[in-house]
Structure 1
Amino acid sequence: MGHLPRIASLGQRQINGLSMARFLQTRGKPIVTYNEPSRDDHRMTVCRPLHRPTLLRASILAGLMTTCQTAQAEGLETILITAAEPPAIDEPTTLTGEETAPRADLAETLREISGVEAGRMSGHGLDPIIRGQREHQLNVLLDGAGIANACPNRMDPPTSFGNLAGFDAVEVHKGVTSLTRGPGGSGGRIELTRNTVERAAEAGMQSRLGFATSSNGLADQTSADVLLSDGNAYGRVIGQIGNGENYEDGDGNEVPSSFKQRSGTIIGGYRVSEATGIEVSIDRNRMLDTRYAGSGMDSVFDNATIYRLDGRLGDLEGPVDALRLEVSRANVDHLMDNYSLRELTAPMPMEAPAESHTTTARLTASSRIHQVELDYGLDFQRVEQDAQAFNGMTDMLMFRQWPDGRTDQMGAFVEGDWQVDARNALRAGLRVDRLESEIDSHLDKSIATHPMVPIAIRESARGTKSDTEISGLLRYHHSFNGNLAGHVGVSRTAVAPNLTQRYITTLMNGNLMKVGNPELEPETHHQVETGLSWQGERLVANGNLYVDQVDNYILQDRKIAGLMPMTTSFRNVDARLYGGELDLSYAVTDWLATQAQVSYVRGRNTSDSRDLPQIPPLSGNLGLHAERGALDGAVVLRWAARAEAIDEQSGLDTTETAGYAVLDLTAGYDIHRHWRLEAGIDNLFDRTYAQHVNRAYSGVFGDPTARINEPGRTVWARLTATF
């Protein structure tokens, strides 16, 4: 794919009367790196981008490039493009807090990206989906650290522990673009990033303060971010407080979704240069009294602590150019019950304490051999999860959902980027992973010991499961001319079963409701992806097509031989996922732009000739953005077609889901170069609608049309200050 330049600080420099500094702070603006003209050359060179701009940014940028042609005539500084940028291998879609409306959960923000959805369970804890893939098919990193959910029902997916008030940006890589950031990731990768090292190069204090509120759900969200640096040593403190209330859908029905969030981060480090330094950090995230409309229980607390060490050594002499060591430890403590935050309607009070511990380590080296940049190294991840269920009146252990389970992954990887010439680039990668999982088979009332579990499953669960998997990647990018670029990629990746799929045990009213399958094989994904991008003077377009043939896809099913009809388990099938995304934008004038996005994915269980469950339908948006002086605004129509491709046998789909179209309005005003005020209305016409990817499992046992509806009309506002 072709890509666009990136904007750094431009001060108050203007192009055709537009203040470029505001593009840093306004939703839907371009981000470019600006090089001050030298005494001998009054030109701007296009630098290698760090992130791919969103479609709306791209449309405005394309229009600005056109207006540059008249800038000299108006007495403004001349800007020229000196050379075509070679095609980029990996172009993530990047969002920052300044570009998006305030949300209760990060995954809700990710829905703004084509090809990305999120299953709603409540106001908090939405679970992201990329190209129809979810959960452990996605790799999620929080400033380089891995973290695993502590709730077996995924009240706390990894993205729920991150928010854009505590990070500088979130990068979404759709599909397989690299093998250096861990195993799996067949659906893509989500990375929450901080640019502390880069910002610390400037001595002094930098701060960012924010406050947001809404009329429906998010009561208040306050954040503060302060960085102190002398150019080498630095310290950074980040804090955020958020409170959510139950929101109402378009019909005025209250959806249980309230929560309290408290998070804080301390970062300390020393930078010798951009490539050399050391950094340590501690993140603490507390979720309290979180209600879940899509579950029979609520979360009393969900507390996460992440410790991280990042050491870099660059500009080395000899065969190795750079070394990097990343080590992290994430601990999560969780308690859910069915009586503290809701009226008890079940036959007995239940409570389920759970915990997870994720340890990651990655050692990466970089070398350059002629025109090839090599990254190679070792990585390790251990996930430990334990969950139990007790009778809330007698404290009697009812069953163990995760009986002190553990998964280990040890991998080795090598990946090379070859810039063949100005028009062609190639990436090739290979990794080998050793995967193991086991439980404490001596614990009572687990999958290995509970009398309700079939004997064959009990016996299988007592042994250690191990696999060795090989993954490969090849991506080729070509620039046809200054406007058109394309790419094609092929990959093979393996996704190991997680502890839930292999070892979960859940009982209800004396019946075995869900049980794992210890004999599951890892999924093997064989993917082909191709895409084109066009960047003209006013029109910017990006399109992708992909096919993913999956051997041993892990399917949740309700009709498995040897189990009762009401019992849900997992089995391997062959499957195919295919689809595409199209993003278009057009700069009507230098202050008005239109944009459109559409995405489609289809999933088929080819073993049984039926659809895969919880696959998003055809969806997209259509927007109009305007900016004039200190004011800007946007109108966006979000829509989705009716979801007709469903799988009722899985227990995840219950019936088709109606399509919808919803209108959102946003506006912003730069009060001062340090202060910005934003406001908006989501779901302007108060429509009642629901996403098809939905966590309303109760519909399986009750009304099959039941869904967790999205919020109705919501008025929001945000004030931010940057110093």
Structure 2
Amino acid sequence: MKIFYSVLLCTLISAASFSQKKEKIKKDSLKQKSIKLDEVIVTGKLKKDPVFSSIANKYAKKIVQPKNVADLFNNINGFSVIKRGNYAIDPSFRASQYEQLNIQYDGGTKAMHACPNRMDPITTHIIPEEISKIEIIKGPYTVRYGATFGGIINLVTQKPNYEDYGFHGKVSAGFESNGNSLVNLAELQYITEKFDIVANVGYRDFGNYKDGFGTEIPSSFSSSDYGIKLGYNFTKNQRLKLDWRQSFGRDVLHAALPMDTEYDNSSILSVDYKIDNIADVIKSISVKGYHSYVDHLMTNFNRPSFMMMEAESAVEATTIGGKIEMNWQPTEKLNLFSGIDVMNISRDGGRVRVVKIMNGNTLPTPMTFNDKVWQDSYITDLGFFTEAKYNLSEKSILTAGIRYDNVTSDIKDPEADFATMYNLNKRTEHTFSGTVSIKKMLSENYVLEAAYGRGTRTANMIERYINHFTVGQDPYEYIGNPDLKAEVNNQFEIGIKGFEELKNGFDSFQFETSVYYSHFENYIVGIVDNTLTRKFMPTVNPVNPKVFQNLDNAYKMGFEASLQLNFLENYNFKTAFSYVDTKNKDLDESLPLTPPFTTKLSFGFEKENLWANAQYNLVSKQDNISASFGETTTKGYQTLDLRFGGKPLKNVTLGVAVLNVFNQGYNNHLNFSFTNQANFGRTPVTEPGRNFSAFLQYKF
């Protein structure tokens, strides 16, 4: 790490000494405002964007009171969410989830969870209203943003309006009837030509919601957040930005996890620097560094198991990383991006158990045990990459990239039983990934894309070092395996998108579709080991734990399609389909957490100051399940959401919505099951019933 930051400092010093020759900016096929720093991946420029990339935004018109950032994915084609309650929600894309997705903020900043049950995923550590757009690369089709297995998600936070100097701000408030939930946000910014500062603070208080059957689901939580962004422009082509944010979750109830969160505190600091338009060959140099820390406490004090055993677990996670990238152009047709990035994840913490009843007998004196959760472990990934874009012709662009990752991992304070299972030494892995793709403009309005990507993912800390903890959807204890090989995703994809002007009352028609196939190597799953027994509560079924292992015979394939018809100037009809099929041939079943076929139909009206939308969601039955993961068949369901909004005054935005209009009772296939809850069996968590929502925002 010291070497990396020394290189970073030297780069800053040397960059300042480069000539600052201005480069004539070439026009592209799409109009786009200037972007400060490399906080975005998808620029809106057809010739520069990665293949199979997309942008989702305009959340004020689509989303109502998101519980956390993961809720923003609900209306993006191909996405589902994994739900354990209202707080611990993870996005899933094409049956890839967790570390299989490369999720980051502003082009590289990361904050990894501290809880082994993912009570605090990366999506909980930022204010949802602060996200201006979500950028998606749908597979391992770029090597520039860290090791990538199933795709990249870049959460872009809102930026100051650099064209409007002085003081500005906004305040907003929202309410949901189902749970009597409140959301508040205030933001203030001051902008000059040389520097800018943005500060925001938010508070959210969500109560238990009722599902469509009228059952109250334990899911309440509150959270407070604030953030400060400072930017300084040394010159017209040099900028430095510092970003600091903290989030404080309190009294979080997790319907599908064995414990609740007493507190979850996170701090994220990031620093970005870029010098642009340097010289004829060296175009720009950008540097990023970040540090995040998560402090998490969970207990079972309000759970049925408390009568037999008190459990309290304090854990922490630290993520430190950075990146240096140079953009250089040796010839007019060849554009290269080369760089180094690093990420270090370290976790520690333990669980204190006070056992009151053992083997059915009440102990005269409770017994206290201390369990090591993370066993003081770390993983460091140092990556080197080069990606090239070559203009084969005016209408064809070839992209190729290669990446090498040096991954070291170690466990510094192992439990005695874990140490006897493995020869625990510091381990170094070498992984290689790469991509090649072509983008061809068939005409002015139609684009064909084809790509192959080899993505890699080394085992995460749960898969390496967890020791007899329940971390899956099922009630099994899981044991890590520090000798796991890295997963490999060989993904092929071809797609086409287009736009056409129409006549006779129909304004325009646009569509996008793609099909993909992935062959997996060394896929990591938990397999029951009949030679081992449970460590905690050994008489409770299932007696045998699962151990993480590699499997080779696995694949996924699927397609996505969307189309939009715009007519009568302000009206539109949209439809979107997504389907993925997975197979674990070794166990003759689907891979875990495979979503069902999903269709969305939407009819909308949109003007600058008034909009309305009705969306009908159709989700099919899912009987292609992973029985070994504890999944059960999920019934299909249909829901209707209505949204209406407008700007009654110049600086005022008002929105109202009715979600799940028909009060449908259902559960998403990816929802985890109720765990350690009074009056609930081990069945999947059900979704909210009818919900009325209102939102008000004032800008100044």
* Band the TM-score falls in, shorter-chain normalisation: 0.7 to 0.9
The CA distance in 1 between the partners of 2:514 and 2:216, in whole Å, is 39
The CA distance in 1 between the partners of 2:33 and 2:66, in whole Å, is 27
Kindly indicate whether the alpha-carbon contact (under 8 Å) linking 2:674 and 2:680 is maintained by their aligned counterparts in 1: no
The CA distance in 1 between the partners of 2:530 and 2:122, in whole Å, is 30
Check if 1:359 corresponds to 2:323: no
The structure-2 alpha-carbon separation of the partners of 1:96 and 1:226, relative to structure 1 and needing over 3 Å to count, comes to farther
Deviation at 1:307, TM superposition (A): 1.1
Residue matched to 2:116: 152
Residue matched to 2:496: 532
Which string of whole-angstrom CA distances, capped at 9 and with x for unpartnered residues, describes residues 65-109 of structure 1?
Answer: xxxxxxxxxxxxxxxxxxx96585343222243232221121122
Check if 1:213 corresponds to 2:175: yes
Kindly indicate whether the alpha-carbon contact (under 8 Å) linking 1:142 and 1:162 is maintained by their aligned counterparts in 2: no
Residue matched to 2:22: none
The CA distance in 2 between the partners of 1:647 and 1:258, in whole Å, is 30
The CA distance in 2 between the partners of 1:258 and 1:367, in whole Å, is 51
1:41-440 to 2 correspondence within 5 Å? 46-47=30-31, 88-90=49-51, 91-99=53-61, 100-143=63-106, 144-183=108-147, 185-196=148-159, 199-217=161-179, 219-272=181-234, 275-317=237-279, 319-339=281-301, 341-342=302-303, 345=306, 347-369=308-330, 370-392=332-354, 396-440=368-412
Kindly indicate whether the alpha-carbon contact (under 8 Å) linking 1:293 and 1:708 is maintained by their aligned counterparts in 2: yes
Residue matched to 2:513: 543
Residue type of the partner of 2:695? R
SS of equivalent to 1:422: coil
Which string of whole-angstrom CA distances, capped at 9 and with x for unpartnered residues, describes residues 608-658 of structure 1?
Answer: 33211211010121010013674321110112100110111123x1x1011
Residue matched to 1:472: 434
The CA distance in 2 between the partners of 1:376 and 1:701, in whole Å, is 55
Deviation at 1:419, TM superposition (A): 3.1
SS of equivalent to 1:402: coil
The CA distance in 1 between the partners of 2:222 and 2:447, in whole Å, is 46
Deviation at 1:342, TM superposition (A): 4.6
Residue matched to 1:656: 633
Kindly indicate whether the alpha-carbon contact (under 8 Å) linking 1:413 and 1:430 is maintained by their aligned counterparts in 2: yes
Which string of whole-angstrom CA distances, capped at 9 and with x for unpartnered residues, describes residues 7-30 of structure 1?
Answer: xxxxxxxxxxxxxxxxxxxxxxxx
Kindly indicate whether the alpha-carbon contact (under 8 Å) linking 1:87 and 1:425 is maintained by their aligned counterparts in 2: no
Residue matched to 1:19: none
Kindly indicate whether the alpha-carbon contact (under 8 Å) linking 2:532 and 2:545 is maintained by their aligned counterparts in 1: no
Which string of whole-angstrom CA distances, capped at 9 and with x for unpartnered residues, describes residues 307-332 of structure 1?
Answer: 11111111212532211110000000
Kindly indicate whether the alpha-carbon contact (under 8 Å) linking 1:97 and 1:164 is maintained by their aligned counterparts in 2: no
Residue matched to 2:601: 622
Deviation at 1:421, TM superposition (A): 3.1
Deviation at 1:300, TM superposition (A): 0.4
Select between 561-570 and 621-630 the one with higher mean Cα deviation: 561-570
Which string of whole-angstrom CA distances, capped at 9 and with x for unpartnered residues, describes residues 387-445 of structure 1?
Answer: 3111257794432121011000001111112233332112111110001111114x5xx
Check if 1:676 corresponds to 2:653: yes
Select between 105-114 and 689-698 the one with higher mean Cα deviation: 689-698
Which string of whole-angstrom CA distances, capped at 9 and with x for unpartnered residues, describes residues 454-480 of structure 1?
Answer: 94x2x33x2122210111011111111
The structure-2 alpha-carbon separation of the partners of 1:516 and 1:254, relative to structure 1 and needing over 3 Å to count, comes to same
SS of equivalent to 2:201: strand
The structure-2 alpha-carbon separation of the partners of 1:256 and 1:247, relative to structure 1 and needing over 3 Å to count, comes to same
Which string of whole-angstrom CA distances, capped at 9 and with x for unpartnered residues, describes residues 265-315 of structure 1?
Answer: 111121245642111121101111100000110000111001111111112
Which string of whole-angstrom CA distances, capped at 9 and with x for unpartnered residues, describes residues 548-583 of structure 1?
Answer: 111000012335665665312211112101111111
Kindly indicate whether the alpha-carbon contact (under 8 Å) linking 1:141 and 1:192 is maintained by their aligned counterparts in 2: yes
Residue matched to 2:455: 493
Q: TM-score, normalised by structure 1?
A: 0.83
Residue matched to 1:580: 559
Deviation at 1:160, TM superposition (A): 1.6
1:502-513 to 2 correspondence within 5 Å? 502-506=464-468, 513=477
The CA distance in 2 between the partners of 1:418 and 1:201, in whole Å, is 34
Q: TM-score, normalised by structure 2?
A: 0.86
The CA distance in 1 between the partners of 2:372 and 2:499, in whole Å, is 55
Identity fraction in percent: 23
Which string of whole-angstrom CA distances, capped at 9 and with x for unpartnered residues, describes residues 513-551 of structure 1?
Answer: 221112211101111011111211221110011111110
Kindly indicate whether the alpha-carbon contact (under 8 Å) linking 2:127 and 2:225 is maintained by their aligned counterparts in 1: no
Deviation at 1:722, TM superposition (A): 2.4
Check if 1:592 corresponds to 2:554: no
Residue type of the partner of 2:546? T
